[in-house]
Structure 1
Amino acid sequence: MVPASDPTGSRFDAITRALAHIAWITDAEGHFTAPQPTWSAYTGQPWEEHQALGWQKAIHPDDLQAMWQGWLSARANRSLFIAEGRMWHAPTGRWRFFEVRAVPNTDEQGEIRQWIGTCIDVHDRRTAEQAMRVADRRKDEFMAVLAHELRNPLAPIRNAVHVLKVCRDDDARSAWARSIIERQVDQMSRLLEDLLDVTRIARGKLEVRRERVDLNESLERAIETSRPILDAHGHRFHAQLPQEPMLVEGDAPRLAQVFANLLNNAAKYTDRGGEVGLLAGVEDGQAVVRVRDNGMGIEASMLPHLFRMYSQAGPARERAQGGLGIGLSLVRGLVEMQGGTVEARSEGPGRGSEFIVRLPLLHAIAPAPRPPEREASPERLRVLVADDNHDAAQTLAVLLEVMGHEVRVAVDGQEAVETAFSFAPDVVLLDIGMPRMDGYAAARRIREKLPGTMQIAITGWGRREDMREAAAAGFDHHLVKPVDPDQLARLLATVQRPSPADAPH
């Protein structure tokens, strides 16, 4: 260290006090020979503790030996010394990563007189880099699993299509093949919807309706949705719902989605023939729903991370059952958006698990009367289908013809308008992204000439803003691909045939 009487010493001391990091000088042997103010401020070591080699006590014991060996090598070679390690940070009472750099200061004979160095706190940078590496790894794993999960349903679909090609329509195997295709398409649809929902939640774009809901009805819908997977795994399922309504403020379909996800999760991660239960009731002014299973359980270390995006309870669970690791993240997002909480409990691997959802309970009031439903339309409808995807348009047209309707097909927006004017359809099913004229413009043109025609947007865009834009363009309904045939049939059953005055002239 430069002696205190040396005027350069006072200049060095002034410089170090102006720096945000630690600056120091040692003698040729690495000893502090004078107080180092910035070192003391960071480590909390007074001069009596960091003098000579006392500074080593502020270095993490696991890092000290390698760092000292590196410095000895640099001293022998009279070269730049660079190393990283952990240093005690007195203000936070924690070990923090730092980077040290030092250069030897030599005399006229080339002998080292002193070392001049700095220590820079890199803890935050290293933490951020580590978080980015973890995020990148999770992203890569997620994309690999996504590809796997999307390919899985394609194999039975392809096989079933081949069966349909070689079997007669009245062959029992044809009916079996059709059920396979329907089930696998439903699985892919649910997978994509969950993925889109959790992405919307992360971006703050998902909207939920807040209205008075009897939670029992959402639970019954969830049980109905999950019953096939519970039965497929041979589980013994029991549900216990209260006799009285449990009124909460929420979105009924989203609440059903929450509990269906939890039941599906329990079914997947419980060995065949296990037990799954759903118990609901009122506790401390809250509606409380517990989904329990006697399945594989969850390690205690995983519980705090279970509701994070892409999180799963270990590689073995992932290999055994697949899944994107988004289901529980979606559950938490939907529950919290409706003012509730969700927690997971487990006594460990092989001991089963329990998921508990709590929602604020409303005071019991008379249920709002339901609006009268329109009677089903018995007529054969004229339906126009417009989609630039020829396969999509033709398959939907065939489906509508099977339902007993008269159908015309257009493959772009301009053709859809022209066909609508000549065909005078009762219903128009329009894709949005079409050449020559998009679905929104086509809907406006058709609405001007045929105001009584029901217009339904059929599109892959399913955000709230997409639905609002469709309504503004004149659409009566908005369906997201792939369209559920039963849902479409229910919509068509509400069509009111236009009066003769509404027909084009």
Structure 2
Amino acid sequence: MGMLIDNRSREALLAEIEALHLRIEKTEQMLQGYESVYRILVETMNEGAAILTMDGVILYCNNRLATLLQVPPDQLIGSSLGAYVTPSDYPLITSLLENHNQSYDKQELSMINGEGTSIPVVFSCRTLEFPVNQRISVILTDITERKQEEMALLTSEKGFRLLAEGMPQIVWVTRADGWNCYFNQQWVEYTGLTLEESYGHGWNKPFHPDDQQRAWDAWQNAVTNNDSYSLECRLRRADGIYRWWLIRGVPVLNRAGNIQNWLGTCTDIDNIKQAETQIQIAAEREHAAAALRESEALYRAIGESIDYGFWICDSGGRNIYASPSFLKLVGLTQDQYSNFGWSTVLHPDDAESTLSAWQECIRTGGMWVIEHRFRGADEQWHPILARGVPVRDKNGDIKYWAGINLDITGQKKTEALLRESDRRKDEFLAMLGHELRNPLTPISNVAQVLSSSPLKESTLNWATETLIRNVTHITKLVDDLLDVSRITRGLVKIQRERVELVKLLKDLTESILPLIQTKHQTFNLELPAQPIYLQGDPIRLTQVFTNLLNNAVKYTDLDGRIDLRVSVECSSIFVYVQDNGIGIEPQLLPHIFDLFIQGRIELDRSEGGLGLGLTLAKKLVELHGGQITAYSQGINQGSQFLIQLPEFVKETALTKPLTLQSSTKETDQGLRVLLIDDNEDVVESTALWFTMSGHQIAIARNGTQGVSTAQTFEPDVILLDIGLPDIDGYQVARKLRELPTTQGALIIALSGYSLNKTLLGEVTDFDHYLLKPPNFNQLRNLLAKYKRSNQSTEDLYS
């Protein structure tokens, strides 16, 4: 009986031991899973991570730490972390590691990478307790960018403060709401107020009682209207004396165009005010001439201290003083200028009206304000803004006049440029409206014709040709506008390859000949017998020469002549496009390549264009490293454009040209095509073409519906709009690539936006990026290629 109890106990004990083994195995498996997860987490961190021995030897490090230190992981493991610390920070990290019983967070120090470059980091460490021994975990965060930003901010603020503190004027800064937050030391020294007393609205305390409300109202008006602030007022000095100051402030805008803060200065003008007072005192004296002579030094100092001309006349309007700056401008001495001698340098068209207005101003005692032209010492006519006021004695009688003459030549030129720019903008908008209405009219007419039934086959053919022709014309207008925008922003890149120029010119002239023949013009083509090779972009070069030839046809009358010649000289290629058309006006010639510039367009010339062709041609030639020049003897003397392309290349020096295989032949079997677009007309018209081409179609109106339809329809090809109402096309493409049914599908982006640098990183999930309206021949080729290879291997951004 005792033996039986022992056997049962043994069996229970064995069962318990076996269960314990199973729990241990599960625990080990779970720990291994946790270790795998932790390792993945550590390897995906943006920070460098390592585990050290208590002596600082690296036992483990993640790839981020190896990248940060630019040292291979296998080389880091087994080395001392202290070997990668700058000498100045070595005692710090030694102290941190020695005090392992404490944890340290966010200690800044500098590491040295494998190339010897110092890297600022934030250092954190913890002690890890293991059953057998202890280890130290280390986290290193690269703060290079933060340090650079802190240094830039520190440098900017320090530079401003150094500048502000070094200026003789008082400098102040307020928040956007007008709350003062900075004064330089000059304010403290002058007013005797502390900075704390001046902050907020405390700045109003030193104002003269008679000026306080006026200053406050002017400031509130500036803040409310986001306008500049300018005011002359009196401020109390620390010793109680009031002096006159000119206070000016301007709003500082951020990148969004909103006011970030206000920046202003206070300039002591008490001396100028005193000078004005002296002038008034002198005016009250019995003899104005004697008083003016006594104050001559003062007047001369004022006149020579300003950039514009200062003048003084007696009560009868006769000049008795002009500042040297203005005398130098007009090339006269004071004696020549005095009395009414200044009228000798007035423009003939302004002399009579100016003298008449001056006499009337003297008679009425009003303020003198006029714009007129003076002949300068440079023999050029300078527009001058003249302003003057009467200075009266205590009885109100005019004793003399004081004023300024301001040369506004620069302002007038700027105004003229603005008017010209505005005129060109208006002309461009008018021409754009005209150019868009031209093709829209036949499109509208065709749409109305197609709404009638029944239609003859000839009428349908005519309607089709008309729609294609005018849609192509509108597309060309939009493409030109986009090209100009992209070139101006530096987004156009030249795709260089070997180009045979003679063949390129022959091919493009064949497309121009029908237009030339309609105007009964003679076309003379002179090309070398041998091939000419260069490295260039064939599409962009074709665009250049097509624009120049179209321009020649447009501005050449019926039965005119157009020449296209090519020559090679000194390893450069020269292409001449010449016509005997209406020519270029001399004043237009220097600006012929500017945006929206056009020659004379008569009412009988229907091909006005947008004035973009020559601008595009010039920009594209320059991107090829060449230059383009225009010549003309004037109206009705014809025009010539010379294009010089550099780096003539011999045939033997070129690599074998890339040959594109035609893929227009399609297999008989149709494809399953999913259209995702919220534009009803685009979807219906595109679906019609695919259906007529033998393909099976499914349609989705938004991104969410598109993803859902793709799971059930299992399309071969997906045409995806970028601008969808719920989620954009980039997000839809990423979701489609994750679906088993569409991982290998041909995904084509169809968008109205040109691909730029900002969008370039978003198109990785697309096989192709096409602009609206799509070219069906291009689509047909893409589908044929997909059928052959069952996947796309090119990046095609049209």
| Unaligned 5+ runs, structure 1 | 501-505
Q: Deviations over 1:16-55 (max 9, x none)?
A: 2222211111223333335633333433423343233333
Q: Distance in 1 between matches of 2:458 and 2:790?
A: 45
Q: Distance in 2 between matches of 1:171 and 1:86?
A: 72
Match of 2:469 in 1: 183
| Unaligned 5+ runs, structure 2 | 1-287, 792-798
Q: Distance in 2 between matches of 1:361 and 1:408?
A: 52
Q: Distance in 2 between matches of 1:299 and 1:136?
A: 21
Mapping 1:24-63, distance limit 5 Å: 24-34=311-321, 36-63=323-350
SS at 1:334's partner residue?
helix
Match of 1:494 in 2: 785
Query: Cα 1:104–1:272, aligned 2, differ >3 Å: closer, same or farther?
Result: same
Query: Cα 1:40–1:269, aligned 2, differ >3 Å: closer, same or farther?
Result: closer
Q: Are 1:443 and 2:729 counterparts?
A: no
Mapping 1:4-403, distance limit 5 Å: 6-34=293-321, 36-90=323-377, 94-107=380-393, 110-166=396-452, 168=454, 171-316=457-602, 321-364=607-650, 365-370=653-658, 373=661, 376-378=665-667, 379-403=669-693
SS at 1:197's partner residue?
helix
Q: Deviations over 1:278-317 (max 9, x none)?
A: 2222133321112223333333333222222111112537
Measured after TM superposition, the shift of residue 466 of structure 1 is: 6.2
Q: Normalized against structure 2, the TM-score is what?
A: 0.58
SS at 2:295's partner residue?
helix
Q: Deviations over 1:338-397 (max 9, x none)?
A: 222222233333343222211113321234342563755414222111111011011111
Q: Distance in 2 between matches of 1:34 and 1:337?
A: 59
CA contact (8 A) 1:247 1:361 kept: no
Q: Deviations over 1:94-114 (max 9, x none)?
A: 332220011122345554322
Q: Read off the aligned partner of 2:743 and give its amino acid letter.
A: P
Measured after TM superposition, the shift of residue 229 of structure 1 is: 2.6
Q: Read off the aligned partner of 1:247 and give its amino acid letter.
A: Y
Measured after TM superposition, the shift of residue 272 of structure 1 is: 3.2
CA contact (8 A) 2:601 2:608 kept: no
Stretch of structure 1 that moved more, 376-385 or 178-187 = 376-385
Match of 2:265 in 1: none
Match for residue 483 of structure 1 among 774, 795, 798: 774
Measured after TM superposition, the shift of residue 93 of structure 1 is: 5.8
CA contact (8 A) 2:747 2:768 kept: yes
Measured after TM superposition, the shift of residue 441 of structure 1 is: 0.7
Q: Deviations over 1:441-494 (max 9, x none)?
A: 11111122223211111110114336624533x111111111111111111111
Measured after TM superposition, the shift of residue 239 of structure 1 is: 2.4
CA contact (8 A) 1:82 1:102 kept: yes
Q: Normalized against structure 1, the TM-score is what?
A: 0.90
Query: Cα 1:34–1:238, aligned 2, differ >3 Å: closer, same or farther?
Result: closer
SS at 2:307's partner residue?
coil
Match of 1:503 in 2: none
Match of 1:413 in 2: 703
Q: Distance in 2 between matches of 1:416 and 1:224?
A: 44
Q: Distance in 1 between matches of 2:789 and 2:608?
A: 51
Query: Cα 1:499–1:37, aligned 2, differ >3 Å: closer, same or farther?
Result: closer
Match of 2:719 in 1: 429
SS at 1:308's partner residue?
coil
Query: Cα 1:467–1:271, aligned 2, differ >3 Å: closer, same or farther?
Result: farther
Query: Cα 1:398–1:7, aligned 2, differ >3 Å: closer, same or farther?
Result: same
Query: Cα 1:342–1:433, aligned 2, differ >3 Å: closer, same or farther?
Result: same
**Which structure has the larger Rg?**
2
CA contact (8 A) 1:160 1:177 kept: yes
Query: Cα 1:491–1:283, aligned 2, differ >3 Å: closer, same or farther?
Result: same
Higher RCO structure (Cα 8 Å, ≥6 apart): 1
Q: Read off the aligned partner of 1:479 and give its amino acid letter.
A: L
SS at 2:318's partner residue?
coil
Measured after TM superposition, the shift of residue 337 of structure 1 is: 2.2
How many residues end up aligned between the 2 structures? 498
Q: Deviations over 1:40-77 (max 9, x none)?
A: 34334233432333333343333222222111110111
